[in-house]
Chain A
Amino acid sequence: MTNLLSGKAAIVGIGATEFSKNSGRSELRLAVEAIRMALDDAGLTAKDVDGMSVFTMETNPEIEVFRQIGGSELKFFSRIHYGGGAACATLQQAAMAIATGVAEVVVCYRAMNERSGHRFGTGIQNLQAAATTESSHYGWYAPYGLLTPASWVAMFAQRYLFETGATTEAFGHVAVADRRHAANNPAAWFYEQPITLEDHAASRWIVEPLRLLDCCQESDGAVAVVVTSAERARDLRQKPAILTGVAQGACDDQQMMTSFYRDDLTGIPEMGLVARQLYEQARITPKDIQTAVIYDHFTPFVLCQLEEFGFCERGEAKDFVQGGNIEIGGGLPINPHGGQLGEAYIHGLNGVAEGVRQIRGTSCNPVADVENVLVTAGTGVPTSGLLLGQA
């Protein structure tokens, strides 16, 4: 199948506010600050921006943000649903708009006071009483107390342990890698605070088999990225990060967080669908990837993603993560910024920014000789992923 998208667009600017537990300002202001930094980084101005793509969960409407930054004519705006699953899909929207000539410069952003404001970790305690397709869906779980993202993921994680023979120590290796990387990243909330496997094992249960240190942070902050054509990118300030692959996926009796009715609960088929598309678009294989930003709201799904992307066989992630293999210096360093466990939880968009830094060679934890970087979006939900390559 011919792909008209690969290599057409590039990320040319990244920006982020500080990551905190209480930003002390509005989500709107956070969005504007991050976008201004991203535009400055790219050497572009608000007048250059003619497209915006965001998550449906974003609380700052694109037209309001566009007005605030001093934008002039907006020709393309779109929103992607399903929580953090939208993280890389917003880049797909941008790339498609640019490849088709609909827009020239597209900004993707995510700004949230997710710790000091609405905390996702408290779950859907205020389920609306009116029956919609989505509220009725959550009605199959909320009456039983199964109403947080962690609790939904736990149901998969327990079955994964049972079928693969892994122990929760495998989850611990992911947490240790993230925190080791964050310890060297001054922008990370957990800067200079590495943890050990013992710390992980000793942390309290949140929803068995997930412990506190298996769960990502709740954060305040914003991240923005600027996308334009690969051609225009050559003339801009930064070394471009080429979007060599970008894809969405939903399949096989997909549900929002609770695809509990599939025969096999140990995989993430929608991420497998994303993986197949990405490899096909970029014409590469897993061994061509030097580092990966693997969406880590909860550690168990990092293991499943390593398997879905073919870095290891099904059920073998527990061995793959041993011995520092997913840490800097290992075979596949993941989340060199510290991930959402270590740096911040900005719904995966901070992971896209790290992918760009790895291509540029400006990360705090640079991986040597990077040609291709994988970035994935939220799991347990309809999702997305992207591949970044050198120009």
Chain B
Amino acid sequence: MSKVEERKSEFEAKLKTYVGLPDGPVTVGRDPVNETMIRHWCEAMGDTNPVYVDAAAALAHGFEGLVAPPTMLQAWILPGYEMHDRSTMQSENKQLELHSLFDAEGYTGVVATNTEQEYTRYLRPGEEVHAETHIESISEQKTTGLGVGYFIVTRTLFTNQEGDDLGWMTFRVLKFRPSQPAAAADAEAAPAKPSRIKSPRGFDNAWWWEGIDEGRLLIQACNDCGALRHPPRPVCGACHSSEWGSIEASGRGTVHSYTVLYHPPIPGYDLPLPVALVDLEEGTRVVANLKGVPPDEIEIGMPVQCRVEDADETMKLPFFHPAAD
């Protein structure tokens, strides 16, 4: 077993000891069920059912008086704003202790994933709500869109001051390790980023593109008459010799013409994109993108300098930059 695996199984063994434990003493709602809180809830939720706010209507529907909306069940025992300050909460809360254990192991992310609730009966004003929460289960390690982590399920049983069953709730959270969180999430969510179109490579041109791969801007040279030529071709245009070599260009040149691409959009290219036709000082002409100059400041005749740079993650290309004065 590798050290990583060893550490993981140790950690998971520790996690298991928490399964089944109560997360703390029984919680008692700070206020008994009361008409004021019911009315506020109904107003906030836009719930206009009269049995929650109108005693006469409740009687007419067969209730003994006002009742609380069943979905308020958990609201009666929420700790309020103090929840955001752990130091003020019960020190022996096992769920918090468990979360700290995860944090220490790098699983610092937390996200609530889902909850289920079941209501046994309507609550009436004056009843006290008691809640007892257990850690029900901790999953195996899972790989999710957010990162690697564990799902923790707690189950809460609700009763009144007499011990009458009022309902139950399960609550599931994911504690995860947000290692390279954005990248990991993006990789799963987004398709691979398109790259630029690559030139086909054949007998006549592959050597030039391989030069670019190595960071060099080459110019084909006739072995017989010495004439330079671009784009590469198998036969010299001046003397028709098919014996050739190459020289490395200085990269210095001037803009002979240019265009700025605005439309159509091309996957893998950021528009607007300037493209220049450059007269190299050696005498040949080459097409490449211009960088480092706003489109409205490009001028025919401007001196430029070539640098071979990464065009994207898959290829290098020559780029012309305004020449330093």
Contacts and interface: CB of A to CB of B under 8 A. Distances in A.
A-B complex is real: yes
Interface of A: 121-125, 127-132, 135-148, 151, 154-156, 158-159, 162, 204-210, 253, 258, 260-261, 265
> Is chain B's binding surface mostly helix, strand, loop or mixed?
loop
Interface of B: 196-206, 230-231, 237, 256-264, 266-267, 269, 271-273, 275, 277, 284-285, 287-289, 295, 300, 311, 315, 317
A139 B287 contact: no
Contacts of B203: 131
B200 A158 contact: no
A127 B257 CA distance: 25
Nearest to B319: A144
Residue of A121, A143, A155, A209 most packed against chain B (CB within 10 A): A143
A144 B317 contact: yes
B261 A207 contact: yes
Contacts of B262: 204-208
Contact of B231 (A140, A142, A143, A144): A140
A216 B267 CA distance: 24
Nearest to A124: B197
Contacts of B258: 155, 158
Given A143-B197, A144-B317, A162 B288 contact: no
Given A143-B197, A158-B257, A208-B259, A132 B202 contact: yes
Contacts of A210: 259
Contact of B197 (A121, A127, A155, A156): A127
B288 A136 contact: no
B200 A127 contact: yes
Contacts of B199: 127, 136, 138-140, 142-143
22 contacts: A125-B266, A127-B197, A127-B199, A131-B200, A131-B203, A132-B202, A136-B201, A136-B202, A136-B205, A139-B198, A140-B231, A143-B197, A143-B315, A144-B273, A145-B266, A145-B273, A155-B259, A155-B277, A162-B300, A207-B260, A208-B260, A265-B257
B261 A146 contact: yes
A185 B65 CA distance: 82
Contacts of B206: 131
Contacts of A123: 264, 266
Contacts of A128: 200
B260 A260 contact: no
A151 B275 contact: yes
Given A143-B315, A145-B266, A159 B256 contact: yes
A205 B275 contact: no
Nearest to A153: B259
